């Protein structure tokens, strides 16, 4: 090593000494109880020389701490879009987003082709209300270009005191870039909500997977089942769900299956090879289910869709999901400093890797705006004829019930076409069920 340094004929800096010291395989081996491979000497020499040149020749003086932190950021950002160096405000933000309350716009972002890409807006947040859509590119934040900045840095720019505004410039396919000025709010997220679409048919919306998501899901279902035990079908909506905590997704699947594998992960080291199995702690293992997904469904939501699909527990409808099949581990380095590192890939029960592929729906249903065709005034039926006989089973009551059902179905149809199709599938399953009386 000394020979190589002398060959460069340059003064050895303290940083170079540190880097050369790290080349020894024994360094760090006692702490980790494993062999640490030596660093390539030529690349270490180039790194230390670049560091010294920046320190001495850059147009402005930059402190060593900033240079080294930038080096760590660059090292991680060059690995994949989800590995990052997390410090101070970013560290606090990471803690907040996993627990469910923070100040900002409510956007889950990633990186694509050097730009910040919206994975999905979170339900009910300022970004969602402003019309931000999955797949949008955010090219400026308060007139600051976002090209080549990290998603964590973009998130920091969008966070701020509730009541203050931030202007984002959005590039959307087929449109010219446009500005949206959005007022920040305290984002306190309830990750699960539910409603009854029609008697017997339940709608479950999961917006993100957080620490308490599985408990929220069970509470919602218990309330519904306490009001009516005759549940004929469940629609689980995972559209624009950007994911979240792995264990939360496992617990959600476990609420609907009582045996078999849910998901497994594979990484380079043994501790990252995990397998998650279903338990008997099941809320309902029999009721027909349809799961809605789209391009904004990522990570943990893909785990849920893939597991229920592989186990034959649910029909998956919508469009192909985002395709984030990797698991990140947050490793603390010091106080308010950590690295978020991709440590493994996850696989569905049948062994499918979703990375860069996504979940293909069983039934493809594109998002669309559909309205009911106006009724032709010349269309008449027996009930419209004068002096017609009444139905022996009470036609007036039947007409009222049918009218109400049609109005309810039309409301769903106009506002949410995929949801309407999911409801129709569940009705078809119940109509053809051999157990139907």
Q: Which pLDDT tens digit goes with each residue over 144-157?
A: 999 878 887 888 88
Is residue 310 annotated as a catalytic residue, yes or no? yes
Least confident of 198-212, 304-318, 347-361: 198-212
Mean pLDDT value across residues 322-344: 91
Q: Supply 59's token pair.
A: 């147009």
Instruction: Identify the active-site residue in 73, 117, 324, 340.
Output: 324
User: Which phi and psi (to 5°) does residue 262 adopt?
Assistant: -100, -50
Selected residue with higher pLDDT from 214 and 432: 214
Q: Supply 359's token pair.
A: 């979940």
- Give the per-residue pLDDT at 21: 43
- Give the per-residue pLDDT at 102: 65
- Give the per-residue pLDDT at 305: 98
Task: Identify the CA nearest to 420 among candidates 107, 197, 109.
Answer: 197
Mean pLDDT value across residues 325-338: 89
**C-alpha dist (Å) from residue 325 to 69, 261, 298, 391:** 28, 17, 8, 58
Domains and CATH numbers, the chain: 2-62 (no CATH), 101-188 (2.30.42.10), 382-432 (no CATH)
Asked whether the beta carbons of 221 and 228 are under 8 A apart, the reply is no
Percent of the chain past pLDDT 70, that is, above it, reads 78
Whole-angstrom distance, CA of residue 159 vs CA of residue 104: 4
Give the predicted TM-score (pTM) of the model. 0.74
- Give the per-residue pLDDT at 414: 56
- Give the per-residue pLDDT at 152: 78
- Give the per-residue pLDDT at 407: 45
- Give the per-residue pLDDT at 265: 96
- Give the per-residue pLDDT at 100: 52
Residue 14 confidence (pLDDT) above 50? no
Is residue 390 annotated as a catalytic residue, yes or no? no
User: Which phi and psi (to 5°) does residue 308 adopt?
Assistant: -65, -30
Selected residue with higher pLDDT from 303 and 222: 303
**C-alpha dist (Å) from residue 71 to 9, 65, 77, 181:** 25, 10, 10, 34
Whole-angstrom distance, CA of residue 334 vs CA of residue 433: 59
Instruction: Identify the active-site residue in 299, 301, 321, 326.
Output: 299
Average pLDDT, the chain: 82
Spell out the residues 6+ positions from residue 369 whose beta carbon is closer than 8 angstroms to its own.
414, 417
- Give the per-residue pLDDT at 149: 84
Residue 20 confidence (pLDDT) above 60? no
Residue 188 confidence (pLDDT) above 80? no
- Give the per-residue pLDDT at 313: 97
- Confidence band for 110, pLDDT divided at 50, 70 and 90: confident
Instruction: Identify the active-site residue in 90, 237, 254, 310.
Output: 310
**Helices and strands (DSSP H and E) totals, the chain:** 13, 19
Residue 433 confidence (pLDDT) above 80? no
What tens digit of pLDDT does each residue of 381-430 get?
777 677 777 777 665 544 454 445 444 544 555 578 899 999 999 999 99
- Give the per-residue pLDDT at 106: 86
What tens digit of pLDDT does each residue of 230-270 get?
899 999 999 989 898 899 999 999 999 999 999 999 999 88
Whole-angstrom distance, CA of residue 123 vs CA of residue 429: 30
The total of other beta-carbon atoms located within 10 Å of residue 336's CB is 14
Whole-angstrom distance, CA of residue 141 vs CA of residue 146: 7
Is residue 299 annotated as a catalytic residue, yes or no? yes
């Amino acid at each position: 090593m000394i020979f190589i340094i002398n060959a460069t004929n340059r003064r050895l800096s303290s940083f170079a000494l540190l880097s050369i010291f790290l080349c020894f395989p024994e360094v760090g081996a006692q702490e980790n109880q494993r062999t640490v491979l030596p660093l390539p000497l030529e690349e270490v020499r180039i790194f230390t020389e670049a560091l010294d040149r920046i320190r001495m020749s850059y147009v402005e003086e930059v402190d060593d701490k900033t240079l080294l932190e930038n080096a760590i950021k660059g090292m991680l950002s060059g690995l994949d879009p989800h590995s990052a160096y997390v410090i101070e405000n970013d560290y606090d933000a990471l803690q907040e987003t996993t627990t469910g309350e923070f100040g900002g716009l409510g956007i889950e972002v990633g990186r694509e082709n050097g730009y910040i890409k919206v994975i999905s807006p979170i339900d009910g947040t300022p970004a969602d209300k402003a019309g931000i859509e999955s797949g949008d590119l955010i090219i400026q934040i308060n007139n600051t270009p976002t090209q080549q900045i990290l998603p964590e840095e973009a998130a920091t720019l969008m966070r701020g005191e509730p009541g203050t505004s931030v202007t984002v410039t959005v590039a959307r396919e087929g449109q010219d870039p446009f500005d949206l000025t959005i007022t920040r709010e305290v984002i306190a997220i309830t990750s699960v909500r539910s409603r009854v679409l029609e008697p017997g048919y339940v709608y479950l919306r999961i917006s993100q997977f957080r620490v308490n998501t599985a408990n929220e899901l069970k509470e919602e279902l218990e309330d519904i089942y306490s009001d009516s035990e005759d549940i004929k079908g469940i629609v689980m909506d995972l559209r624009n769900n950007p994911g979240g905590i792995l264990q939360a997704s496992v617990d959600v699947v476990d609420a609907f299956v009582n045996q078999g594998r849910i998901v497994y992960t594979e990484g380079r080291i043994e501790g990252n090879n995990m397998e998650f199995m279903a338990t008997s702690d099941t809320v309902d293992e029999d009721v027909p289910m349809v799961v809605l997904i789209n391009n904004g469904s990522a990570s943990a939501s893909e785990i849920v869709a893939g597991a229920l699909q592989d186990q034959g527990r649910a029909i998956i409808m919508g469009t192909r999901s985002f395709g984030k099949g990797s698991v990140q581990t947050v490793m603390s380095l010091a106080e308010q400093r950590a690295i978020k590192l991709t440590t493994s890939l996850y696989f569905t029960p049948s062994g499918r890797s979703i990375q860069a592929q996504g979940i293909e729906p069983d039934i493809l249903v594109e998002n669309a705006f559909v309205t009911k065709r106006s009724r032709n005034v010349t269309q008449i039926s027996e009930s419209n004829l004068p002096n017609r006989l009444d139905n022996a089973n009470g036609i007036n009551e039947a007409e009222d019930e049918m009218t109400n059902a049609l109005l309810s179905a039309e409301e769903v149809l106009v506002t949410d076409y995929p949801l309407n199709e999911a409801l129709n599938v569940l009705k078809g399953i119940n109509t053809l069920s051999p157990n139907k009386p």
